[in-house]
Amino acid sequence: MRLPRLAASSRQRTEAAFVIATVGVSQKDVDEQVVDAEVLMLPLSRNARAKTLGITDGFVKLFAQKGSGAVVGGVVVAPRASELIFPVTLAVQHRLNVDQVASTFTVYPSLSGSISEAARQLRQG
CATH number at residue 105: 3.30.390.30
Residue 52 lies in a domain: yes
Radius of gyration of the chain from Cα atoms? 13
How high is the pLDDT of residue 5?
47
Residue 2 lies in a domain: no
| Strands 9-13 and 19-24, sheet pairing | antiparallel
For 111, the domain range is 9-124
Q: Which of 45, 59, 68, 55 is nearest to 122 (CA)?
A: 68
Residue 35 lies in a domain: yes
Residue 4 lies in a domain: no
Q: Give the whole-angstrom CA distance, residue 72 versus residue 2.
A: 11
Q: What secondary structure letter does DSSP report for 15?
A: T
Residue 37 lies in a domain: yes
Residue 30 lies in a domain: yes
Q: Which of 69, 47, 51, 72 is nearest to 60 (CA)?
A: 47
pLDDT surpasses 70 at 43? yes
Q: Three-state DSSP class for 90?
A: helix
* Number of structural domains found in the chain: 1
The pTM score is 0.86
Report phi then psi at 58, rounded to 5: 105, 170
Residue 87 lies in a domain: yes
Averaged over 88-113, what is the pLDDT? Answer: 96
Residue 34 lies in a domain: yes
Q: What secondary structure letter does DSSP report for 45?
A: G
pLDDT surpasses 60 at 13? no
